Structure 1
Amino acid sequence: MNALATVLHIIAILGTGLVAGVFFAFSGFVMQGINRLPAAEAARTMREINVTAVRAPLMLAIFGTALLVTVLAVLTVVGGPAGTAWWTIAGAALYLVGVVGVTAGANVPRNDRLAAASDEDGPALAAAWDSFRPGWTGWNHVRTLGAATACLALVLALL
């Protein structure tokens, strides 16, 4: 593996680990803390978090890492060492499917439905939260596992 590929792998490992940590924090205690609030207040809190989440720090971590693992997979296919190829490709696939795919297909649609709930109608907002939370959190566990296993696969590729 050349020096550039090694540096890219290390940055990808840091990116996948960082994203896994963010998702772990949400699964581990953020959602549990928000859920201790009255349901309508919890919904409002999560909506505010969702507004701030789509800014540079998190978006760069998630999608910058997605770009990086894609580049690594392509570089590996066109000329990477045979022993590391499968771990790198597996890491990229785990990240792209388990993080980007799940985010786009499961978490963002739930965020959108929560955002669409009427802020004026407290009981409807509370019902929206009660519908939102279990599925969103479950899929967030999947994202956590996807990012963490991608990180592990990329580490194994370097070994």
Structure 2
Amino acid sequence: MIEGPYFVLVVLGALWCGVAAGVFVAFSTLVMRGLGALPAARGIAAMNSINVAAMTPAFMVVFMGAALLCAVIAVVTFVLWPEPGTVELLVGCVLYLAGSFGVTVVANIPRNDALAKLAGDEDSERSAAYWRRYLSEWTLWNHVRGGAALAASAAFVLSLT
């Protein structure tokens, strides 16, 4: 049974992953659509600016805080194995750590780095072509991050029932 400080960790994990999911979904459905409506040079410049601005403590607390909570929950869950709800907790931890954090590292950040290299050359046809590909690929992977974070949150909630 999940109780005491462990219960608080799980509730915080569910909430934190849910907030991260909301950020990812809002970004995919609002921000990326808005950027995609801009001319390529302006979209590239705006996204590069957003990527720099995202390195704030507030965003990092949401993104890295959820990953840290998931890591702590996973460790505690292994210690308490095979208590009821531990399978759901491990599934939730894997979903967030691999599906949100991992996807960020292997899919979104490399695309952001490549986009940053276009700074100063935003008006070229090469940059415009990359921007079109970036929009679809980055947004697809961002949907994956959002879905994984939402599924992790749901798994944490299920572990409590």
What is the TM-score of this pair, normalised by structure 2?
0.94
Q: Distance in 2 between matches of 1:107 and 1:121?
A: 19
The CA distance in 2 between the partners of 1:43 and 1:125, in whole Å, is 8
In the TM superposition, residue 27 of structure 1 has moved relative to its aligned partner by 1.4
Q: What residue identity is the alignment partner of 1:135? A: E
Q: Percent identity?
A: 42
Contact 1:23–1:143 under 8 Å retained in 2: yes
Query: Quick check: 1:107–1:139 contact (8 Å CA) kept in 2?
Result: yes
Q: Which has a greater percent of helix?
A: 1
**Structure 1 gap segments, 5+ residues each:** none
C-alpha offsets along residues 25-71 of structure 1, whole Å, 9 cap, x if unaligned?
01112101111111110111100000011211111111111111111
Aligned to 1:97: 98
Q: Would you say the 8 A contact 2:10–2:156 is kept in 1? A: yes
| Number of equivalenced pairs | 159
TM-score between the two structures when normalised by the length of structure 1? 0.95
Whole-angstrom distance in 2 between the partners of 1:121 and 1:99? 29
**Are 1:119 and 2:120 an aligned pair?**
yes
CA deviation profile, 1:110-130 (whole Å, cap 9, x unmatched): 000000114245124323312
Moved more, 92-101 or 72-81: 72-81
Is this contact kept in 2: 1:117–1:128, CA < 8 A?
no
Q: Please tell me the root mean square deviation across aligned C-alpha atoms, in Å.
A: 1.3
Between the aligned partners of 1:109 and 1:120, the Cα distance in structure 2 is: 18
Following superposition, the deviation at residue 131 of structure 1 comes to 2.6
**What residue number does 2:37 align with?**
36
Partner residue in 2 for 1:134: 136
More displaced, 38-47 or 122-131? 122-131
Q: Which runs of 4+ in 1 moved over 4 A?
A: none
CA contact (8 A) 1:43 1:128 kept: no
Mark the runs of 5 or more structure 2 residues left unpaired by the alignment: none
